[in-house]
Amino acid sequence: MQSIVHNWYRYDSALVLIMSLILTAVFINIDVKNTVVSKVITKIAPLTLGVYLIHHHADLGPWMWGVIALPEYLSAWLSPIIQILAVLGIFVACIVIDAIRNQLFKFIKLTRLFNWIDSKSKELIGIK
């Protein structure tokens, strides 16, 4: 069993939860004046859960980190740049994958089916 000290950075640690709440509080009331930036944020924000789910998937994660192989570049002077590019690449790739999934769901009308199932289940348990 690992100690709390070695797990402070995990997504399920109290420290990460506190930092997440603080970041949410900081960003929740920001009013973006630039319409282009606002539109980009509005388009990308719903896809960020997909980024997390895709890159953290049990089957995809080990494969992806094996392909990227960041530890091989730790001694290189370009290491920080390589790490930033890897993160941006993963983010963009996952955004594209989730956007394709989103469009596919719209195309085959799965969202409508899910909404119907949701409304029927709420009727069954008496929620309006």
- The pLDDT of residue 104 is 86
CA distances to 12, 25, 31, 84 from 28, rounded to whole Å, are: 22, 5, 9, 25
- The pLDDT of residue 31 is 86
Mean pLDDT, the chain, rounded, equals: 82
Q: What is the pLDDT of residues 36-67, one digit of tens each?
A: 998 998 889 888 888 888 887 888 877 887 77
Alpha helical stretches, state H, the chain: 14-27, 35-44, 48-55, 60-68, 79-107, 110-125
Q: Please measure the distance between the N-terminal and C-terminal CA atoms of the chain and give it in whole angstroms.
A: 46
